[in-house]
Amino acid sequence: MSIGQLAKASGVQAVTIRYYEKQGLLAPQRRAVNGYREYGKAQLRRLTFIRRCRRLGFSLDDIRALLGLADQQALPCHQIDARIEAQLAEVRKRQRDLAVMEEELQRLTHCCAGGVVAQCRIVETLSEGEE
C-alpha cells in the first residue's frame, strides 16, 4: 500500500509516518518500480503498535525499546512488563500532580470577587512567593 493508504488504514498522518521512518521506528519493505515506498501488513501492525504506545504516553525512546523487545519473540516478557509498570507509575504521578493543580485552580477561582484587574486577588496570589 502507499503511504496515503497506510495513513488512512492506521489513522496516522503521512508526515508522522515519515517522521517515524526517520526516527528508525518504521521501515518500508521495498520501493515500487515507480520509486514510491510500499508498505504491507507488517508496517501497518508496527504503526498501530507505535500509535497505541503514543496514546499511552510512551516516549519515542520507550517505544523504540519496546519495539526492540517485541522483535525478539523468544525473550521472556519481564522487560516489557517492567516498562509498562514504569509507565503506569508515571501516569499515576501525573494524575496526582494534576489533582494538586486542580485544587489550586479551584482555590484561585474563589479569590476573585470581580472588579478590576488592579484589585484582582488572583493576580496578587499568583505573584506571591510561596507555592
Whether 61 is in a domain gets the answer no
Q: How confident is the model at residue 121 (pLDDT cuts 50, 70, 90)?
A: confident
How many domains are there within the chain?
2
pLDDT at 122: 81
Whether 66 is in a domain gets the answer no
Whether 16 is in a domain gets the answer yes
Residue 112 has pLDDT above 80, yes or no: no
Q: For residue 99, what are the domain limits? A: 76-131
What percentage of the chain has pLDDT greater than the value 90? 63
What count of Cα atoms within 13 Å lies in the side-chain half-sphere of residue 74? 0
Position with higher pLDDT, 29 vs 84: 84
Residue 129 has pLDDT above 70, yes or no: no
Whether 126 is in a domain gets the answer yes
